[in-house]
Structure 1
């Protein structure tokens, strides 16, 4: 094996110093990942405690006392799913004289005409008060559309649904009663998954999102920590939006930004785990990577914008401050994963070359503890959402490591997004392409909005797959298996992401237009 210590001469102090610097950075990444896992563990503990004590019954809905609600449907060039959401929301089981629908259309293609016809159709069919608001510019993207339409909203409350959502007709009945207290600014519901079983990719996304919408949201909300409106599937008190400064478009996650501004002004949020808002998951790797890029970059932008304010704001408990900062900082975990994984390569040579530093390397086992904490976190959400309890443990074990492996494969894509966010590099709001499918039986897919190309990030994902794969095989051959599982997971993760990214560009089998008027699919909560 390569001996770093003797490579440049017996008295090479520089190599020893460099080894120590690498170990310090590597150790710092491990510590930060460990702290992240500890905070996630604490949320899982909060979740378990809440399950025991939460006996709150929903308030009865009284149609005569129902407040006026404005439903906003922001969309941009959504040819395949625009009609579906309009049809669904128009059937809302709520007094017709107590709600209105604003279709916020920024489209620049034939979707404009499709929406216009659908609005007329549902107005005549259901008698709903619905308005088609078409902007000729995309200033501020989604946040800009929401902000522009808010002054015309007649409702005391504003429900927001992205175009890929299919809320149940009793959604308003189940949520509006939660605004009994005047300081309640938001009621957020849990996302369901229309197409969870479309592929292994959608199942892994559902696995991760269920962790957020069960453990993370409940774990924070149950003890009074800040949570976030998830951009859709929830209701705002209009006065809360205005008091917090309204929708702003200086970040890609306007929902997270406004959520923290509102809660720092004293508004309270309620999260309803038992009320499900079904949504469509991305079915292509390009769509998933684009969505992840926007979420991760937006999170970093919000930390840059709100971190100092949260740290210095008055009247916020210390624990709320810590969890809030952790929440805003969450996306940065991918930077540490990338750095740690890259430094693990020279770490192997340091172990071979410097016996006096081996005791420090042993602290790397803390990563195993972090993994166990995260297993407990996801185990609680998976167990609650799995019907067949007898198979749950084995299914979870397989699914968790599949999820962890693909998450590692996405870490470069996400880390680049986070770095862009911290550097203030602005980019347009690239919305996730929707396909209007629930299972693979719906046919092959073509979506003119799903732009696929081979990016520099994709090329590096392929290189990293080879690098970690060769390293794992090499160390296995030498009988040094300590980091083999870690490097094997990295190789498989990057390889999976790279393969699908390349295959989607060249594979013409992804190629028929999805149905425009598909019926509502069964929801996999």
Structure 2
């Protein structure tokens, strides 16, 4: 039995290290790219553009969304706006009012409601696509507020072979709380280092579901929007690139959006992203390996699609690390194996460099103090989400289907705004939340065992897990008490 625990622990650390080295590689690519940044070319002509706004029960943010999109700087005769409205509450009436107002101002905007909400967001996008007049399709989720010159800045980057152009996400409420700052810290790494590194080196990248523009022909040739995964954006991205279409990432163009301010809302978002990524990997991995792409592109595509697996191996390593303490004390014959497990240090250094590069590139007035404060907190919260995300990934690989659960929006932009009374926040005390509380105690016991055995190698790891899971447990329960 001991060898199973030891083998599983070492294997999990090895996998985590591989993914961490991939992050280091992307950081190196990013730094190279930053030295050769080019300016935006002028827009030579104005193609027909359709903007799609998929909306489902967004009464707190839908008015500001429509007003922002209708204020975009673009010739009115070349612009069509589709509000893809699947709402079942008063949002539908709010949309109708704003659509009528902007129609009276000469804006070509339409409220489109389907007979049935089949396929959730993907189904809405596909339904709208079949009625779209634009050769280019821009998509914005309900919490996004793009800059007025969004179209004028992005459209010049479309070449004949370009299927999609993605912009960087900004954050309307980054400084609202510690939770929003930690989310921004992690997202900035994806939207700076990862996306730029992949795109600049010819690797496959992904559309992020919003704040990007597709060529309609590209979507159609790739087979349209599918709703058999929770991340229809990642799925279509890979199918399109396997068809030979090229993507462009624009780090210098930012589309601001609202970050979730409560752990239950973060959980719904993280669940969808991680389970959906696993579903897409399950669906497309074989097609990638069989494709005519170079071995280099295939390797990084597979690492990209399976990246959410890190949570599975992180939680496996964490869980096994506690019994490993006792095995280490009583089985000296495993000492060589324990020493091999220090390969994780290499992965940790690689990951630290990755987030250093990202934070330095995206943080105004960046300094060492900022990094030393936010990086450990981000890691602790990530560890706290490990159980939740690991279950989501496992469900994705096992083919367990679940509905598309949207992330609740709160219309929060500064500390004066409040989420209390939000009618979309419907949380229950789930078995998973209770399990997070149990594992917080489990890793706290791990800290006690570390101290008892005077084995200090894992005390920090166990401490961060206990604090992270404990915080996620408490912050998952807290909104229940507040909202009743």
**Do Structure 1 and Structure 2 share a fold, with TM-score over 0.5?**
yes
Taking the aligned partners of 1:450 and 1:324, their CA distance within structure 2 comes to 36
The alignment status of 1:161 with 2:136, answered yes or no, reads no
Q: What's the counterpart of residue 116 of structure 1?
A: 96
Q: Does 1:132 align with 2:111?
A: yes
Report if the CA contact (8 A) 2:137-2:215 is conserved.
Answer: yes
State yes or no: 1:91 paired with 2:91. no
In structure 2, the partner of 1:141 is 120
1:476 match: 451
Q: Which residue, 457, 465, 469 being the options, matches 1:490?
A: 465
The answer as to whether partners of 1:195 and 1:437 remain within 8 angstroms in 2 is: yes
SS state at 1:121 partner: helix
Matched, 1:381 2:361: no
Residue 158 of structure 1 contacts residue 235 of structure 1 at CA under 8 Å; is this kept in 2? yes
What residue in structure 1 maps to residue 154 of structure 2? 175
Alignment match, 1:39: 22
Query: C-alpha offsets along residues 350-379 of structure 1, whole Å, 9 cap, x if unaligned?
Result: 111111112211222222221111111111
- Of 387, 397, 421, the residue aligned with 1:422 is 397
Tell me the distance in 2 between the aligned counterparts of 1:200 and 1:425: 33
Residue 233 of structure 2 corresponds to 255
Match of 1:61 among 32, 39, 43: 43
Unaligned runs of 5+ in 1: 1-17, 512-525
Q: Following TM superposition, by how much is the alpha carbon of 1:478 offset from its aligned partner in structure 2, in angstroms?
A: 3.6
- Of 325, 329, 334, 2:302 maps to 325
Report how many aligned residue pairs link the two structures.
484
**Does the 8 Å CA contact 1:187/1:270 hold for their aligned counterparts?**
yes
Are 2:69 and 1:70 aligned? no
- Give the equivalent residue in structure 2 for 1:362: 339
Moved more, 471-480 or 220-229: 471-480
Q: Specify the alignment match of 1:5 in structure 2.
A: none
Deviation at 1:39, TM superposition (A): 0.7
Distance 2:446 2:317 in 1: 15
- Alpha-carbon deviation of 1:465? 0.6
Q: Where does structure 2 lack aligned partners over 5 or more consecutive residues?
A: none
Q: Contact 1:23–1:347 at 8 Å: present in 2 too?
A: yes
Normalising to structure 1: TM-score of the pair? Answer: 0.91
SS of aligned partner of 2:84: strand
CA distance in 2, matches of 1:363, 1:504: 43
CA contact (8 A) 1:71 1:160 kept: yes
Give SS of 1:345's match. helix
Secondary structure of the 1:29 match is helix
For 2:220 and 2:2, the matched residues in 1 are separated by 54
Contact map agreement 2:436 2:473 (CA 8 A) in 1: yes
Partner residue, 1:343: 320
Alpha-carbon contact 2:412-2:419 (below 8 Å) kept: no
Distance 1:264 1:405 in 2: 37
**How far apart, CA to CA, are the structure 1 residues paired with 2:400 and 2:257?**
30
Classify the secondary structure of the residue corresponding to 2:442.
helix
Q: 1:198 and 2:176 equivalent? A: yes
Q: Which has the larger radius of gyration?
A: 1
Runs (4 or more) in structure 1 with deviation over 2 Å come to 443-446
Q: CA–CA distance in 1 between the matches of 2:108 and 2:36?
A: 41
| Secondary structure in structure 2 of the residue aligned to 1:152 | coil
Q: Is the 8 A contact 1:213 1:273 kept in 2?
A: yes
CA distance in 2, matches of 1:432, 1:72: 18
